[in-house]
Structure 1
Amino acid sequence: MGIEGPFWRAIAVFRIASLGYAAILLVQSGGYAHPVTGWIVIGVMAVWTAVTTYAYSTEALRGWPLLTFDLLLSAACLLSTVYVQGPQATANTMPITATWVAAPVLAWGVYSGRRAGGVAAAVMSVADLWLRGVRGFDLAAVPVNGAVLLFMAGIVIGHVARLAKQAEERMQRAIEIEAAGRERERLARGIHDSVLQVLALVQRRGAEIGGEAADLGRLAGEQEAVLRELVRSGPRPDRSLRSRRRFVPARRAPAARSDQGSDQGSDLGDALRRYGSAQVTVATPADPVPLSPRAVDELTAAVGNALDNVRRHCGEHARAWILVESEPDRVIVTVRDDGPGIPDGRLAEAAKDGRLGVSQSIRGRVADLGGNVTILSSPDGTEIEMSVPLS
């Protein structure tokens, strides 16, 4: 039912309260010409109140046929006042329906806006004035407070309901745009971890080998640049996002799964120890560092990208150290190297050029886990600290 739900529930409550008010007026009057007929009208109103309470809460039943019949039935109950009250009623006597006739006006306004609310108010006001004219009252002396209130209720409620619907639509579009952006970031990380790095490797090795391999490397470099630009700019968000299949990029370094099952998490230390080599030293706590499988996957991939950057920018023989620290509320993974450091402004320039190694494959992954990344660089090396909350 969306944002309209509270409006329809409020109208149902208004109908029930107005029905009780009309019944109290009938009991207190004691002077109506045909009180039995009055109770029959109250009974019809009660049945219709129950019907509309259910019908307006069901989207399949809510529509113009129901709204039209609601308006006509309410007008008929209002006009029955001529017979129920008889000739002794005065111009200020409350109709048998009392305030119950305002319910269809509110329903029209909620369903289709202030114009529809104004039309329904006009119909009920004409019925009320006709009722008083049939009784022989001087219409110039008849109070029009009821008609004014009907118009105000129909127009104001209709306007507010339309604004609420527009706000809901805009919020839904914002949610879809945000979801599309996150999907694009996940896709970009997957492409960076596989296709872009392979193209960069072909370009570098082709230039080293020379000859026809150099031409292949040049073509690979051109395609890498084109693909980076596509990933950086990204497609426009699809408004039919709900129907799209979710793309989950493959990880180059899959996380180890604990024998205890995913309910108790996976050991981050076990997953990161796979990166240990002659050039990479891995230091983890003696006890397991349990995290959710998704968190282990993301952190493992982020560390892998950090090590790729070390090999690419510091050379094949550069040393790197991985340190895992487990605190009561978070896990901290630090990757440090002994390279020449990162020049000032290089990371911002790389993100602008569509190079996603740090901005998405490291920062983006950790941010998706609710954590943060701190990068410290100096001529003696670079240190990347990834902090992820345990929750």
Structure 2
Amino acid sequence: MPGKPGRPGKPGRPGMRMSVEQPLWRALTAYRVLTLGYALSLYAYAYDDLLHPLGAGAYMAVLTVWTLSTLGRVMSAERCTKRFLAIDLTVAITGVLLTAVVDTQQRIDAGSFTLPSIWTAGSVLAFAVKGGWRWAAVASTLVAAADLIERGTPSRDTLHNVVLIWVASIAIGYVVEVARASERTLARALQIEAATRERERLARDIHDGVLQVLAMVQRRGNQAGGEAAELGRMAGEQEAALRTLITGGPLPEARGADDTLAAGPHDLTTLLAPYASASVTLSAPGTPVLLAPDAAAELTAAVGAALDNVRRHAGAGAHAWILVEDEPDAVLVSVRDDGPGIAEGRLAAAEDEGRLGVAQSIRGRLRDLGGTAVVDSVPGQGTEVELRLPRRAADAPAAPEPVPAVPAVPADAGTAVPAAGEAARAVPVLSEADGSRTA
């Protein structure tokens, strides 16, 4: 039966915790009752052999009342407070030390039982279930010290019992911690699954309504021209942003021209998200693709350079796709378009002519980072630029280098155009003037 919902303001649900801890608390409750009965039986059996049987009887009466009156305390973690655990352990240790007073030394040397007997282990186990193996280690150490004091001189049986309760309590505490961690992981996975299902449901509803309306406005606006074309362009941008949102892509806050990248790893998907539009589709993993700041910025700029070539040379109707893959040993980013492709030898010729858009803005950036950039194009079938950055280079922050001044570029050699989302970097992107060049 599922647990009741938790009260507002408290994380988690009590029902979820019951699935892991409640059986342990119930077992501990039963253990305390059974071991109380066992301790009373041992006391009754040895009554005539005790040095002060009435004094021992008084303690056994206290132990009985304490155990039965606190059964509700050990049925849940919320009721089993630190104060209760401290008092409970004090009752157990008092009984162990009192044994040396009410029993004869001969019986103690022969290995006679202590007054609480194995009931003491219940107190230690309560620490283990409540606080894990560290709490169990502290409680079992205190009990072990009391046992050694009660015996006077450590015997083999005493050491055996001490080590046994030590190992058992710490092991149970560790198992409890592992179970709690597993429960949290499972709860998180269920939350993610529920959120994913809800996102998919919303995506279906939005796709059937809002996205289709925005697409129609964009199409009709482009057909009408004039002010309607501007309205269509804005509708296309909103459609792309909404599509990115419902598919799980992040929508970062806009950065001004004077903003700089903060220190610490950056999510490549977040940096690439501004490129998504009606003509650019971004596909990325559902989890962040974290890179060192310099590596993330340079890889983003290389993608911007590739998209800039698409906009300039593939035509207004061309569509581009950005695919981000986070592999164990490398980060791969592919930029593909459906333009006319690149004529064979065109890239080499452009480099010889001093047009270094691909050579420097794309390949040069990846080379400086320790990665590679491969351009694969078939005339008439579009172009694909594959950017590969090894993880060892992506995770290690690059040493700062002085940025050389960029000379002015003649009008006939290409135009410097900052890629979308890269205004903060103010890095010019040089592209080939040949109309056959695509991303």
Q: Same fold (TM over 0.5)?
A: yes
How far off its partner does 1:76 sit?
0.6
Task: Work out the CA distance in 2 between the residues paired with 1:163 and 1:15.
Answer: 24
Structure 2 match to 1:49: 67
How far off its partner does 1:196 sit?
0.8
The answer to whether 1:93 aligns with 2:108 is no
The answer to whether 1:229 aligns with 2:244 is yes
Tell whether the 8 Å contact from 2:51 to 2:102 is kept in structure 1 after alignment. Answer: yes
Aligned residues: 236
Counterpart amino acid of residue 211 in structure 1: G
The answer to whether 1:213 aligns with 2:228 is yes
Match of 1:74 among 92, 104, 119: 92
**What SS does the corresponding residue of 2:107 show, helix, strand or coil?**
coil
Task: Work out the CA distance in 1 between the residues paired with 2:250 and 2:224.
Answer: 37
Q: 1:205 to 1:129 in 2, by over 3 A?
A: same
Structure 1 match to 2:25: 8
Structure 2 match to 1:119: 138
How far off its partner does 1:59 sit?
4.1
Structure 1 match to 2:197: 182
Task: Work out the CA distance in 2 between the residues paired with 1:149 and 1:77.
Answer: 19
Structure 2 match to 1:372: none
Task: Work out the CA distance in 2 between the residues paired with 1:140 and 1:229.
Answer: 72
Structural mapping, 1:17-166, within 5 Å: 17-29=34-46, 30-91=48-109, 92-133=111-152, 138-139=153-154, 143-166=158-181
How far off its partner does 1:156 sit?
0.8
Task: Work out the CA distance in 2 between the residues paired with 1:200 and 1:73.
Answer: 75
**What SS does the corresponding residue of 2:70 show, helix, strand or coil?**
helix
Counterpart amino acid of residue 119 in structure 2: W
| Per-residue Cα deviation, 1:64-120 (whole angstroms, up to 9, x for no partner) | 211111111110122221233234423211112110111111111111121221111
Structure 2 match to 1:304: none
Task: Work out the CA distance in 2 between the residues paired with 1:8 and 1:15.
Answer: 11
Structure 2 match to 1:382: none
Counterpart amino acid of residue 65 in structure 1: R
Structure 2 match to 1:203: 218
TM-score by length of 2: 0.50
| Per-residue Cα deviation, 1:169-211 (whole angstroms, up to 9, x for no partner) | 1111111111111222222223223221111111222233333
Tell whether the 8 Å contact from 2:136 to 2:169 is kept in structure 1 after alignment. Answer: yes
| Per-residue Cα deviation, 1:263-320 (whole angstroms, up to 9, x for no partner) | xxxxxxxxxxxxxxxxxxxxxxxxxxxxxxxxxxxxxxxxxxxxxxxxxxxxxxxxxx
Task: Work out the CA distance in 2 between the residues paired with 1:141 and 1:186.
Answer: 67
Task: Work out the CA distance in 1 between the residues paired with 2:105 and 2:117.
Answer: 18
What is the RMSD computed on CA atoms of the aligned residues? 2.5
Q: Which runs of 5 or more residues in structure 2 are unaligned?
A: 1-16, 252-319, 324-439
Q: What percentage of aligned pairs have identical amino acids?
A: 41
Task: Work out the CA distance in 1 between the residues paired with 2:77 and 2:92.
Answer: 22
Q: 1:101 to 1:33 in 2, by over 3 A?
A: same
Structural mapping, 1:236-315, within 5 Å: none
| Per-residue Cα deviation, 1:113-166 (whole angstroms, up to 9, x for no partner) | 212211111101111111111xxxx43566411111110122111111111111
Q: Which runs of 5 or more residues in structure 1 are unaligned?
A: 237-348, 353-391
Structural mapping, 1:352-371, within 5 Å: none
